Amino acid sequence: MNETEKLPLSAFMPHHPSSNPHAPFTATAGKKNKDFKKKIELFQVINALETIFDPEIPVNIYDLGLIYDIKLLAANDINIKMSLTAPGCPVAGEMPGQVADTIAKIPDVGLINVELVWEPAWTKDRMSEDAKMALEIY
């Protein structure tokens, strides 16, 4: 096995934000927020995610099941793990940034970190029932 075969999928992403090819592909937005007035609620994050649509599939990324984990942290910081429908997705290098920027618009939000993950691989089983109906997948 050569060195290239040992690299994670994130190393092959366009515009990888790190000079370390083993570093996870992440996007950040917002800033540390010590003066927030109200704690961010999970439904606010989900509502924001539901406004972001996959460019090739007319369904939002939350209902597609691309959001694997949302962690609400102290000072309204948020960590998100997400995937894409396929590693070759044309917006692979842009989607995590779009997610971070959209979440950053929530009032009183702190620092947002969005990590693109490939394990477990996305499958249509992760889709909501609404998404399956919209795409006529039964």
Report, as ranges of residue numbers, the positions in the chain whose pLDDT lies below 70: 1-23
Whole-prediction pTM? 0.83
Please, what is the average pLDDT of the chain? 86
DSSP bridge partners of 81: 69, 115
Instruction: Give the pLDDT confidence score for residue 8 in this predicted structure.
Output: 55
Instruction: Give the pLDDT confidence score for residue 43 in this predicted structure.
Output: 98
Instruction: Give the pLDDT confidence score for residue 34 in this predicted structure.
Output: 82
Residue of 28, 25, 3, 4 whose CA lies nearest to 15: 25
Instruction: Give the pLDDT confidence score for residue 5 in this predicted structure.
Output: 53
Torsion sign over Cα 34, 76, 40, 47:
positive
- Measured distance CA(108)–CA(39) in Å, rounded: 8
Instruction: Give the pLDDT confidence score for residue 15 in this predicted structure.
Output: 53
Assess contact for 87 and 107: CB atoms under 8 A.
no
